[in-house]
Structures are given as C-alpha cells and as structure tokens.
A and B are shown apart, each in its own frame.
Chain A
Amino acid sequence: MKYIELKNCYKTYPNGVTALADINLEISKGEFVFIIGPTGCGKSTLMKLLYREEKPTKGNVLVGGIKVEKLRNGKVYKLRKKLGIIFQNYRLLPKQTVYENVAFPLTMDGIKDSEIRPKVLKALERVGLKDKIKSFPDELSGGEQQRVCIARAIVNEPKLLLCDEPTGNLDPGVSKEIMDVIESINKKLGTTIIMVTHDAQIVNRMKKRVITINDGVISNDIMKGKYKANENN
C-alpha cells in the first residue's frame, strides 16, 4: 500500500536553479528508504517537498492521502501532525527540559497534561532517555540530543518519520546507536522512514531500499542497495 507518491515533480527555485526534474516516486507504508547523492543534488529539496517547506513548481505530491502541493500555508500543520521530522542540528528548545521538549507538540495542541505524560514517557523510553527527563539540552551529548529530537518526532506516533541527515554531526559509534533506535521504531511501530544521509557505512550495513539522486533526477532506485555501488554514477 503506497503511502507517499510523487508524480512528475519539478522544483525550480526563484533564482532559476532547477533542484528537481521529473521525479516519480512511490513509497509504501512501513518502508525504510535511504535517499543519497552528492551535495546539492536535490535530496534536501525532495524532503522539503514531503513536509511542505517547499511547493513543487509542477507535479503532485501525495503524503498519507494529503495533496501536499495544494496545502495552503495556514493548513500545513495538518500535514506536519501526521509526520515526524528529525534534523541534523536537533532544533531543541534550549530553555526547556527534555520532558518539555518532547511534550512540546502535544502541549502546543492543548492536550491534557494527564494524557501527555504517558505518551512522553513512552517516547523517551523508546529512545532510551528516560533517566534524563529533567536535563536541559545543553547538558546532553550530541547523541542524546538527537534522541530527544527523535522522541519529540515520535511522541504523536506518526506514520511517517523524515530524517534529514540525523547522524551528520555524530561519530560512528553514536551514529550506530541512533540508527538502531530509528530501525526499532520502523520495526516495532511500523513507521515509514525516509532518511537522507551521506554516511556510506550506515547505508551499506542496513541493506534497505536506496534511492540515489543526481543533478535533480533519480538515477538509481534499488531494494537492498549499497552506497558504494552508486558512487560511480
């Protein structure tokens, strides 16, 4: 069952740069997909189309039944509620504790505290940070901060998790831990995962579907792909 569909998507930025050209893509529910490619190839733009930070210049983007390209600015939150986003630079609120950071999407929505608490604790347990509830982000290591970010992304139990180079700032050992967390979310919760990465080691080890983008077009889309095989493209 397909969850994400891109049809003849083009994206040209106002400055004339064509980031994506004729992208056709289908991703099913529960899939784990890597998106790789050299810097500036358009993979970040592809992600931005999925969470509607950018609108396609042409073509359709369908995410979980929502026609993303038709979403008005004021309605974007309806899409974002259905998905979780993990960033390379974590984007945590520095003046709030780990608990408050993870609870943030729910409190902003006006959900009752008594309903929030079990959800936050569950999310923090999933990422293995239950004992750091009262810490502030700057008291945590990079890996721990990324876990908080993951917990915040999954606290709503979204069907889709978008990861934009989640291990970009982390050393290989910690990266592996983060990948284990994300993989367990994929397996245990059935969450669809799309991850942009530069880390060849991770891609090669995980043996998942790999989509390679080069100069704005999909140059390769292989199940159980490897980073190395695509490098020569």
Chain B
Amino acid sequence: MKTIRVFLRSFKEAFKSVFRNFSLSVASVTCTTITLILVSIAILVSYNVNNVTKKLENELTIVVYLEREATPEQAKDLEGTLKSIKNVEKVTFKSKDEWKFEMQNYSTTLNTTLSYLTENPLLDSYTVKVKNVRDLHKTAEKIKEQEIVRTAEYGEGMVEQLVSVFDIVEKVTVIIVFALILITAFLINNTIKLTIFSRRGEIEIMRYVGTSNYAIRLPFIFEGLFLGIIGSIIPIIITIYGYIIAYTRLDGHLFSNVLSLVKPFSFVIYVSLVLLLIGACVGVFGSYKAVRKYLKV
C-alpha cells in the first residue's frame, strides 16, 4: 500500500511539476521534438533505402544455360544438384520452347527470324535465385563446374558494385539514426539537468528528512517520462501525416517504379511507436542520471 501511494504521489507530483517549471519543460520538450523529427526523417529515409536495395537484391538471379545435347534426365539431375547448393533459394526451369514463344511474342522481327529456322537455336535454362547476394559470384562459379552447364551468367562486375553500394548506404543510414538518438539523449539529459539543478534544494531536504532515494527519484523519472512523451507527440504527427502526404503526392515511388516507397500502413505506426519509445526512454534515463548527482548529501 505504501509503495502504491508513493507511486501515485510521484505521478501526481511529476505531472504538476511539468507545469510548475513551465519554461524548463518547454525547453526540454522543444529539444526532444526537434531531435526526434530528425530521428524520424532518418528512420524513414533509411528504411526506404533498405526497402529499395532489398527489392533490387531480390531481382538479382543467375541464369544457367544447359548444353544443347543435355537430355531431360540430365536436366532433372542438374536441378537436384543446383537445389543442393547452400546459397540457392529457388530454381526455375525454362525450356528452349518457352524461350522461343516468349521471344516471338516480344517482337515481330524476332518472330519472323525464328520462324525461318527449322530447329530451335535456343537453350534450356534454369533461373537460380540465391539467398545471399554477396555470395552470388561464388555460387555462379560452383554452378559452372557442373557437367552439362554451358554458362552461368549473373551480370558480373555491375552486380558486385551495386551490392557494395547497397552495403555502404545501409551502414551509413544506421549510423546516422544511432548518432541522432545519442544526440537526443545528450540534449534531453542536459535540459533535465537544468530542471533538476533548480530543484537541488528540494532534493537535499528530502534526503535530510529521511526519504529513500527511490522515493526521491521516482517523481523526477516520471517527469522525464512525461517530457519525453510530450516531446514525441509533434514528431509522431509529422511522421504520420508527412509520410502519408508524401506517399500519395509521389504516387508511391521516387523518380521511377524501381524506387518504390514503403506503404504508409502499418509502417508509420511502427515508426511512431519507435519515436514514442525513444522519447520515453531517453527522458527516463536522462532524469535518472541527472538526479543521481544530487543524492549524495
């Protein structure tokens, strides 16, 4: 019962204190708001970039052409061996007749050229999808070693460059997000320090009259929590409305269909929750650390 009362009282006190020290609260909240908006932008951008790179990565495949003299049994065997390679995720067969049909439909010139030939000049093929694009080269090499394989193509050179660019982009965005979170923590810690500095006399009195550190800290921790949550409201609104508006204005993609954006739902909800969580955690930790200093008398 006692603990519950201390809890409730702390909650009430913290709420009152947010308004009592209004100017300092505004300072904390403003600073949280600004940094959380930056964090939000960084998350939105990095998530979209990752989304695009993932999509592109998914489209990277190895096309395996079989020797002309390969029998259907051999082709069947090869499918088994391909599937047994570690990095291989999916293998799809496309016969030379299917290729021919596709090409004939593609253009009339091709259609007429192909119709002059009595024999189909095309090759049977397997399209191999890999699990990890970074090992595309190794997997292709392994496939080339197989008996009836003529070639295994995956766009050498270009793919490797693309993959390394994706890697860099991914790492940079993650670093930016974490750096911004750290900056938020630092700024909020500083403003809460100011709030608490102005109330160190009060903390001293609490210590002298025999209040436990836990009971002293609790109101300040709640206050940090409130400030953090209040500070995340505007960034959340901006995230939700801003992203939805941007998405509809841009028609769901940037420049071309390849650079498609993440659908707003439920993406913005997740981002909002993350912002709320960051605000709350940073507020709580900021207060916790700032009060500590004055609990020594």
Contact = CB atoms under 8 A, between A and B. Distances in A.
B211 A95 contact: no
Contact of B201 (A76, A80, A91, A111): A91
A51 B207 CA distance: 11
A73 B296 CA distance: 7
A45 to B, nearest CB: 14
Contact of B205 (A53, A79, A91, A95): A91
**Majority SS at the chain B contact face:** helix
Given A91-B208, A105-B210, A105-B211, 16 more contacts: A73-B213, A73-B295, A77-B211, A77-B212, A78-B210, A80-B210, A81-B210, A85-B209, A91-B204, A104-B209, A105-B209, A109-B2, A109-B6, A109-B211, A110-B3, A156-B210
B295 A110 contact: no
Interface in A67-81: 73-74, 76-81
Contacts of B211: 77, 105, 108-109
Interface string B17-39: 00010000000000000000000
B134 interface: no
Contact of A108 (B3, B204, B215, B296): B215
A95 B206 CA distance: 15
Given A91-B201, A95-B20, A109 B215 contact: yes
B16 to A, nearest CB: 10
A136 B204 CA distance: 19
Contact of B207 (A77, A109, A111): A77
Interface residues of B, number: 25
B209 A110 contact: no
Interface in A98-149: 104-105, 107-112
Nearest to B215: A108
B119 to A, nearest CB: 89
Q: How large is the interface on A (under 10, 10 to 19, 20 to 34, 35 or more residues)?
A: 20 to 34
Interface of A: 51, 53, 73-74, 76-82, 85, 91-93, 95, 104-105, 107-112, 152, 156
In order of increasing CB-CB distance, the 3 nearest A-B pairs are A80-B210, A81-B210, A110-B6
B5 A110 contact: yes
A78 B215 CA distance: 13
A91 B4 CA distance: 28
A37 to B, nearest CB: 23
A112 B9 CA distance: 11
A107 B201 CA distance: 18
